[in-house]
Amino acid sequence: MQKIGFIGLGTMGTPMALNILRGGFELVVYNRNALKCAPLVDKGALLAASPMEVAERCEITLAIVSDPEAALEVALGPAGALKGLSPGKGYIDLSTVDAVTSRRIEAAAAEAGARFLEAPVSGSKKPAEEGNLIILAAGDKGLYDEALPLFGILGKSSHYLGAVGQGAMMKLAVNMVMGSMTVALAEGLSLAKGAGLDPSALLAVLDEGVVSNPLFRLKGPAMLRGEFPTAFPLKHMQKDMRLALEAGDAAGSALTVATAANEKFLEALSDGNGEEDMSAVYKVFK
């Protein structure tokens, strides 16, 4: 049986790793805070002391950590996964990062003779638990084909998008639209409330028309109840808006709507709402 490595047992990583274990794979896990490995080890996963050790012991290693800095640390750090890679092995980074970060990891993997795939995921905690993520992969096509059984466990669909960087860009474009829509919804609810309308009536009317969508249906009523249980933390949404805006800058695209939405996420972040769901951006409109 192929041995699979998994680095990063946060909100997304834990349910994803559990699903791989349930799928019958032998799994080696690592998390910076080792306490978070316990639920996996209890279910039969093997513990590693560093990302390097994970990669040494496994044919394919997956990682999903916070941001570009964390992705570089677990891949290229002093005890990083790439130090444990040998020719033919595969490294798949599922974290949401920018294209430049992904290409740095790809180059280091190539030096080790290993194969690299970036594969950020769309969908939050519940889709991760249910194996309903959308995988946005780019890089080594052979590794992609080999990883399809894993992607089948983690997600409801997977897309192969070409050269490394394309997966990162697809993910950032998706989240940029989602972040802008979330702020637009918060603003609309605030306008309705300020004008003396019942904001839940606005949700009902929106849902009957052409802009009806699952995001508004999921987040709108909870925003009005003042409940923001974390599915996708606001701090990560703001990180993705920042990375999308930087990519826009590099490409010479003026991202006007996203720039304005990002200001609202920054405001919510500085108010201390980073650990709450991204929908907590509604608070800054009150």
Q: Which are the catalytic amino acids?
A: 171
Which is nearer to ligand NAP, 112 or 121 (by Cβ)? 121
Provide the 10 A C-beta neighbour count for residue 85. Answer: 25
Q: Residue 36, interface with ligand NAP (CB under 6 A)?
A: yes
Q: How far apart are CA 58 and CA 48, in angstroms?
A: 11
Q: Residue 214, interface with ligand NAP (CB under 6 A)?
A: no
The residue within the footprint of ligand NAP, chosen from 21, 45, 55, 74 (CB under 6 A), is: 74
Q: How far apart are CA 177 and CA 127, in angstroms?
A: 19
Distances (CA, A) of 13 to 10, 16, 87, 97, 118: 5, 5, 26, 15, 15
The residue within the footprint of ligand NAP, chosen from 3, 39, 73, 224 (CB under 6 A), is: 73
Q: Which stretch binds ligand NAP (CB under 6 A): 37-45, 61-69, 106-114, 210-218?
A: 61-69
Which is nearer to ligand NAP, 11 or 200 (by Cβ)? 11
Which is nearer to ligand NAP, 199 or 238 (by Cβ)? 238
Q: Residue 205's Cα: distance from chain center in Å? A: 31
Q: Residue 95, interface with ligand NAP (CB under 6 A)?
A: yes
Which is nearer to ligand NAP, 56 or 188 (by Cβ)? 56
Burial class from Cβ neighbours inside 10 Å (0-12, 13-18, 19+) for residue 42 reads exposed
Q: Residue 8, interface with ligand NAP (CB under 6 A)?
A: yes
Terminal C-alpha separation, the chain: 55
The residue within the footprint of ligand NAP, chosen from 23, 57, 66, 200 (CB under 6 A), is: 66
Task: List alpha helices for 155-210, DSSP H.
Answer: 166-194, 199-208
Instruction: Enumerate binding residues for ligand NAP (CB under 6 A).
Output: 8-13, 31-33, 36, 64-67, 70, 73-74, 95-96, 121, 124-125, 231-233, 236
